[in-house]
Amino acid sequence: MTGTASIPDAAATPHGVNVLGALALELRGDSPVARACLDQAGAGALADLIARDLARLAPQAATLQLVTAGAHYDPVEMLRPGWALHRELDELAARAPRPSSSAGDDWAGGSVVAFGAHDGQMPGALAPSADFFGGPLRVVPFVLGGDGRVIAQVGDCFERELIERGMAGADTALAAQESFGLQVEHARYLTAHDLAAMTALQYEHAGLGALWPVLETALLEPDAEAWLDAPPEPLVHYVEGEARIAMFEPNAWRTRYAAEADCSDPQVRERLLRLHEQFQARQRQVAAVLAAHAVPVTFVHCDEATQVDPRAAL
């Protein structure tokens, strides 16, 4: 992975390449969260602290435009095809007046754009989803845009160093804690690729590692193609921007996943029935993970007629 990420359709956005990242907030236990969004004043105050921190990590960042949201999200809302959340920030900033920075001398020459809530509503498509509220890690996304050479240098610096020394300032962590009404255990900065790598590791530990290449393709190369074809896992084909999952009838499932089973034995048939039910539950889990990352899912019926080459049906 490189230090910068391309945003598709650069003609529709102010910059074709940007530094994409987030302030990651690791929450303390099951502590409650009072609010997901800040008003404009609160968003601006937090953005100024983020700008200061980033400039201290990479001084050249201070010459760029920082765009961020006064809201926190689940990582799955950030890890979506085309970096949709960052793209929304970028496109909203392109229509906003260019402000002067209030982040002090650390952000000399650059600018800060922060989007907060008005009457409790975030602009555009920036509203955090209630479906993913309450997770142990929340992210406040940011985009750095401007001169391409500086973006490349800052992006490379962040990719090398944020994991090791990207802790947020103590006052930044405290401001996020107080303004959002949550309990912060750790606050640090991550690139979008850092967050993707962390999520891949978490999925591996959760037994979902086989699905990650499909998700990674959807995220990094949404126009490309990928397969999950590793029995006993479900058969998944990511193509044309959607994930197609083979929905096997019982006989077709047995041919692919239990061809050696003796179906004349009643105990074996009962065991196969349970295994097929478990397989269907796994399909639903895979579909739910893909949908959480905003990857469209289509189930494709596969019967005995397609069992010779079910890939062809997808």
**pLDDT over 60 (residue 244):** yes
**pLDDT over 70 (residue 226):** yes
pLDDT tens for 13-72 read: 334 579 999 999 999 877 788 899 999 999 999 999 999 999 999 999 999 999 999 999
Q: What is the pLDDT of residue 275?
A: 87
Single-letter residue type at 192: A
CA angle centred on 170, ends 169 and 175, rounded to 5° = 95
Q: Does the CA dihedral 181-21-194-213 come out positive or negative? A: positive
As a whole number, mean pLDDT of residues 125-129 equals 94
**Strand blocks (E) in the chain:** 5-6, 17-27, 65-69, 111-115, 137-145, 184-191, 226-228, 236-239, 242-248, 297-302
**What's the DSSP call for residue 265?**
S
pTM of the predicted model as reported, rounded to 2 decimal places: 0.88
